[in-house]
Amino acid sequence: MAKPVLNAPQFQTESDAFAYVEARLWPNGPVCPHCQETARIGRLNGKTTRPGLHKCYACKKPFTVRMGTLFEDSHLPLHLWLQVIHLMCASKKGIATRQIQRMLNCSMKTAWFLGHRIRLAMDPGAATPIGGAGKTVEADDMEVGRSPKTRRRPKGRRGNMRILSLVERGGTIRSIILDHLGVAPRLYKHLDKRSRLVTDSANVFKRSGAAKHEAVDHSKFEWARGDVHTNTLEGFFSIFKRGIVGVYQHIDAKHFDRYAAEFDFRMNQRVKLGYSDTDRADAALQGVNGKRLTYETTH
């Protein structure tokens, strides 16, 4: 992996890291997390005061920008958080837990948990259907897992994970973990019915409710017919697979949705849509608000 540029000030010192995060989470000045006061707030600047400490003169309580965010329960310095967020946003296939561990010189457990907190920040949560009038949406499903040659489990689907992804061309992607419900009901739920849908010729895509549906027939070696193809998703699946197999290696099925959120996030903030690595990291930073993840809820 190419070495990302981490010599910007916010990655180096705690006070610069706080200034960076405050500018982004408090664009209109500090907000008291206890009582929402915005006016009567002072910054505490004593020599022994920890960085970023503020005091609210309405409720008399101290606070920092970390409160009420994903950073709150963590002892990790903010500038190290920013380093890991940046790396995760800049690495196309994700970043291995071992690499986080080496960077921060922390335990595997801490590194693993940190990665999952950032994935939570990347998760958009409740979302509207994909596509719309005049929009083209590609849909396809993918299986991720060990190849039959190296798989230790007995034959069959067990142990492998499947996702359904929908992407609006030039727009948003969403990946949904498939369980026993399968593709059809998920597609129906997440697709804006005014869209034009393009898929392969599998039967599961036939009851999507889309205004228009066109399919290429892979069984007849037809991969594209004009703009009827699923190449955007093929590209995404290829990166996702290489990330899961090459970087993350042993992921647990019960956390698969978080990895899907991570790969979706980078795709949604892709270079083609005008995002730089820094823009992408700033977008992830916007997701830390109001999200808490305790070690217990991860297990």
Q: Which residues bind Zn ion (CB under 5 A)?
A: 32, 34-35, 37, 56, 58-59
In the complex, least distance from residue 40 CB atom to Zn ion, rounded to whole angstroms: 8
Distance between CA 177 and CA 187 in Å, rounded?
11
CB-wise, 33 or 115, nearer to Zn ion? 33
CB-wise, 58 or 245, nearer to Zn ion? 58
CA separation, residue 178 to residues 170, 182, 272 (Å): 25, 6, 28
Distance between CA 70 and CA 55 in Å, rounded?
21
CB-wise, 34 or 270, nearer to Zn ion? 34
CB-wise, 37 or 257, nearer to Zn ion? 37
CB-wise, 5 or 59, nearer to Zn ion? 59
In the complex, least distance from residue 56 CB atom to Zn ion, rounded to whole angstroms: 3
In the complex, least distance from residue 24 CB atom to Zn ion, rounded to whole angstroms: 21
In the complex, least distance from residue 144 CB atom to Zn ion, rounded to whole angstroms: 47
Distance between CA 183 and CA 177 in Å, rounded?
9
CB-wise, 33 or 94, nearer to Zn ion? 33
In the complex, least distance from residue 57 CB atom to Zn ion, rounded to whole angstroms: 8
Distance between CA 199 and CA 217 in Å, rounded?
9
In the complex, least distance from residue 32 CB atom to Zn ion, rounded to whole angstroms: 3
What tokens were used for 264? 């979706």
Residue 289 CB contacts under 8 Å (≥ 6 apart), including other chains: 25, 68, 69
Cα–Cα nearest to 11, from 71, 70, 82: 82
Question: Assign residue 221 a region: left if phi > 0, alpha if psi is -120 to 50, beta otherwise?
Answer: left
